[in-house]
Amino acid sequence: MILTEHGVYLRERVLELARAGVPFSDRTIKKNLFSAVARATYAVADIIAPVCSYNATWERFYGVPDDRIMVIYNGVDERRFDDRNFRPERPTVTAMVRIDPLKDIETLVASAPFVRERFPDVVFDIWGPIHDEAYNRQVVELVGVLGLEECVRFRGSTSDPAAAYAEASVVALSSISEGFPYSVIEAMMCAKPVVATDVGGAREAIGECGTVVPPKRPQRLAEALCDMLARPEEAVLVGKRARERALELFTLSGCLASYRALYAEVASAVPVGARA
């Protein structure tokens, strides 16, 4: 059995319980149940292949030895997510996310007034499907309360995410929980600088090719976005370095090769009769 964790199962269940306002007694019972599920799954897995080293810290905490952990980063197709060498006329902050509480779109929206103070013509383009209708209403309401109707644009889903990334001056991610975020490595592969919250494997992905900030801190997020927007030539160079890093570490072909090698290794250790 090979187990891959993109997001950390237990952590995300605990966050859901906290958001839902479940009574403490119920929350404790459910947390213990989810913990037992995670421990049992970890115990029977021959190899656990987290998508980033951050996930591995949780697995080690729950007793998984290092010799059963093999980090395999997510990968994206460099031919699809290419560098189109396009620079938008207006300062543009792009987010490629599903509308969901874990993505904390409210913090991104709340950062917009601070950015608009320095860049009055800035636009925030939010691409992605609505995953939680109630949360979407909260976000739209916040846009109205802050008077950002002309600044924040909900663009919906897209069949060509690379074109959406190309329209960005900087790509933002404001999540409170992540595994190894695809939107970050897709943006990097498209040669765009990234500002992301310091959750999950975002810091591992970005390296020196962007900025990480604490989650749920709109002003800190705004400061980092403004820093990128204020230095457009340098931001372009950061984006070029980001693509080089993505080509080295986060290609789809490299990801698939690592999984195939792992499957072959695990399968070769299984007796022939057991395989049949």
pLDDT of residue 230: 98
What does the pLDDT look like over 260-274, one tens digit per residue?
999 999 988 866 454
Average pLDDT over residues 220-240: 97
Domains of the chain: residue spans and CATH: 2-75+252-275 (no CATH), 92-249 (3.40.50.2000)
Section 59-77 average pLDDT = 94
Dump pLDDT digits (tens) for 93-105.
999 999 999 999 9
Residue 244, CB half-sphere, CA atoms under 13 Å: how many? 9
pLDDT of residue 271: 61
What span, in angstroms and rounded, lies between the C-alpha atoms of 150 and 136?
18
User: How confident is the model at residue 12, as a pLDDT?
Assistant: 84
pLDDT for 222: 98
At residue 8, the pLDDT reads 84
Q: Report how far residue 76's alpha carbon sits from residue 182's, in angstroms, rounded to the nearest whole number.
A: 8
Report which of 87, 41, 98, 97 is spatially closest to residue 64, judged by C-alpha positions: 41
State the average pLDDT over residues 184-203.
97
Residue 276's pLDDT is 39
Inform me whether the pLDDT recorded for 71 exceeds 50.
Answer: yes
How many whole angstroms separate alpha carbon 186 and alpha carbon 69? 25
pLDDT at residue 18 in the model: 81
pLDDT of residue 7: 82
Average pLDDT (61-89) is: 95
Return mean pLDDT, the chain. Answer: 94
For 156, phi then psi, to 5°, come to 75, -165
Q: Report the alpha-carbon distance of residue 221 to residue 108 in Å, rounded.
A: 8
